[in-house]
Structure 1
Amino acid sequence: MTEFIGMPAPRPRGVPAPPRDLQARAAELRSGREPYVLATVVRAQRPASAKAGDRALVLPDGTIEGFVGGHCAVDTVRAQSLRLLRTGQATLLRITPEVDQPREEEGLVAVGQPCLSGGTLEIFLEAVLPPVLVHVYGESPIARAFTAIGQAMGHQVAAAADPWAAIAPDTTAVLVASHGVSEEPVLRAALAAGVPYVGLIASRRRGAAVLAAVEGGDRVHVPAGLDIGATTPGEVAVSVYAQIIRLGVRRLP
């Protein structure tokens, strides 16, 4: 293949992308609700090619942006990062010739150095997941409490007064608190989208009547929330979020 002056040669498969402004790139990923792993070299023992402070982002498709070592480290960083994206956790990864078999203990994963040149790298891997996304439908006091308390918990809350408002693909919970106003289309959309938690604020009797007309309605939590004797809108909201936590509901990549 002819190469022209001034045109870079194509990057071989498996070679990490060249470093970019990782801080700006990470901000871009967060704004787009894209998960990633931030990999930071915290210790490097020669002849490792990386040095302390080198960083990279690992994306769910295995792409690595930045630099945390040569090809001897890249495959291990990628594999461990993809594992962490499934759990949302963080760990210290040690790549060293002193380990024959992979070893895992609390907060640490140690694997053998695959290259004959040796050298030890310690890389902190931190999974950065988008905040839980909650879709709240309704304009009632309870709906407003869902929004306020959800935001206080660090969730991203999409408040909607329109029953036909789109539900984002990675929504973790849809909470319907409209007191009988256009509940069915929201419930149907949430169930069709496979939202992990769908809650309806209604009595058991009224809820059963609403769900009789909704296919798959047995997946809807009604009455929504744990039975904690809640009476005020804020207490009802707390009971529902507590149920979501107890059920371990979370959409991971």
Structure 2
Amino acid sequence: MMREELAQRASELRRSRTPFVHATVVRAQHPTSAHAGDSALVHADGSIEGFVGGTCAETSVRAQALQVLVSGEPLLLRIRPGEESEAVVDEQGAVTVANPCLSGGTLEIFLEPHRPAPRVVVVGSTPVARALAALGGPLGLHVELTDGGAIRVDPEDAGMIVASHGRGEEPALEAALRVAVPYVALVASKTRGGAVLAGLDVSAADRARVHSPAGLDLGARTAGEIALSILAEMITERAATVRTPEQPVPLTSVDPVCGMTVAVSDSTLSTSYGEAQVYFCCEHCRTSFLAEPARFTA
């Protein structure tokens, strides 16, 4: 895959809010098949588009990239030949792993996670709704405006803010509460908000989760100030709440031939043996295992 094609593919993934890790070779000590500037995209399922080395190097990149996708933190990965041992983290945070399959050479690869910005659904086309959309982007949020007619709510959304002034409020609030969106707010006066909440077909506990009047008490008057107070309240709630990571912690297995730790994914080489699935770092190890399985399972 050419560099321009890879860049276009990365743009497509960002537009579709699909998480991935951009892996770039920043240093290659020969002999190695990769060169500085080579890059690849590592997906959440472990599949790799692009090139950062042969299958041996890919195995190390895949295992570390899946961890980076969970943590959300970039990482400089050094891959050197040698018997596998525990990954070593230096003072600057770079991680060095030994790969028993490498024939020689050392690679340094920068792993940069790209995770979609937290999505906030805003219902309405009012000045407050538009101000929320304008302020959300600079705060690292993906604000999606909807009129409530074709609302799409996901439990991983960061928030649902209903600012429609009486239009479709109940269905939107109920949809957000049913899937446990962490921050749910209704822009309304205390009196009108109370009446809307009383009519919701939800439990008392869920009803109590709705912030109405919405926003911190900042003395806000204009649409922009109200939007700012709402986003400040949502950010405060998010900071105080620990949520399960969007990406599951990646599973690993040990290649029985070379002893290397590999990521368990659909794209990892494997074979069935008895009632177990056995995973390998490369085709050579898989072939060796299939030739003498008893030797490696004793």
TM-score by length of 1: 0.80
Shift of 1:104: 2.7
- Take 1:108 and 1:243, find their aligned partners in 2: how far apart are those partners? 36
Residue by residue over 1:115-152, the C-alpha shift from the partner in whole angstroms, topping out at 9 and shown as x without a partner, is 25232111000111223322211233212211221234
Q: Which runs of 5+ in 2 are unaligned?
A: 248-298
Q: Could you tell me which residue of structure 2 aligns to residue 218 of structure 1?
A: 208
- Take 2:167 and 2:107, find their aligned partners in 1: how far apart are those partners? 59
Contact 1:41 1:52 in 2 (8 A): yes
Shift of 1:238: 1.3
Q: Percent identity?
A: 51
- Take 1:221 and 1:94, find their aligned partners in 2: how far apart are those partners? 48
Residue by residue over 1:234-253, the C-alpha shift from the partner in whole angstroms, topping out at 9 and shown as x without a partner, is 12211222233332489844
Contact 1:132 1:172 in 2 (8 A): yes
- Take 2:168 and 2:232, find their aligned partners in 1: how far apart are those partners? 26
Equivalent residues in 2 for 1:195-214 (5 A)? 195-214=181-200
Contact 1:19 1:67 in 2 (8 A): no
RMSD across aligned positions (CA): 2.6
Match of 2:151 among 156, 159, 166: 166
Q: Which runs of 5+ in 1 are unaligned?
A: 1-17
Aligned: 1:44 with 2:19:
no
Match of 1:243 among 222, 225, 233: 233
Q: Could you tell me which residue of structure 2 aligns to residue 115 of structure 1?
A: 101
Which deviates further from its counterpart, 35-44 or 80-89?
Answer: 80-89
Contact 2:27 2:107 in 1 (8 A): yes
Residue by residue over 1:24-52, the C-alpha shift from the partner in whole angstroms, topping out at 9 and shown as x without a partner, is 21122122111111000001112222111
- Take 2:81 and 2:217, find their aligned partners in 1: how far apart are those partners? 55
- Take 1:232 and 1:103, find their aligned partners in 2: how far apart are those partners? 53
- Take 1:35 and 1:147, find their aligned partners in 2: how far apart are those partners? 22
Question: SS at 1:150's partner residue?
Answer: helix
- Take 1:155 and 1:240, find their aligned partners in 2: how far apart are those partners? 13
Contact 1:164 1:185 in 2 (8 A): no
Shift of 1:83: 1.5
TM-score by length of 2: 0.69
- Take 1:243 and 1:142, find their aligned partners in 2: how far apart are those partners? 15
- Take 1:104 and 1:235, find their aligned partners in 2: how far apart are those partners? 45
Equivalent residues in 2 for 1:40-189 (5 A)? 40-97=24-81, 100-105=85-90, 106-115=92-101, 117-161=103-147, 163-167=148-152, 169=154, 171-189=157-175
Shift of 1:100: 4.0
Shift of 1:96: 2.2
Shift of 1:64: 0.6
**Structure 1 residues 118, 226: CA separation in 2 closer, same or farther (over 3 Å shift)?**
farther
**Structure 1 residues 110, 239: CA separation in 2 closer, same or farther (over 3 Å shift)?**
farther
Question: SS at 2:193's partner residue?
Answer: helix
Question: SS at 1:118's partner residue?
Answer: coil
- Take 1:240 and 1:120, find their aligned partners in 2: how far apart are those partners? 50
Aligned: 1:27 with 2:11:
yes
**Structure 1 residues 179, 32: CA separation in 2 closer, same or farther (over 3 Å shift)?**
same
- Take 1:81 and 1:235, find their aligned partners in 2: how far apart are those partners? 41
Q: 1:150 corresponds to which letter in structure 2?
A: G
Question: SS at 1:69's partner residue?
Answer: coil
- Take 2:207 and 2:71, find their aligned partners in 1: how far apart are those partners? 29
What count of residue pairs does the alignment treat as equivalent?
235
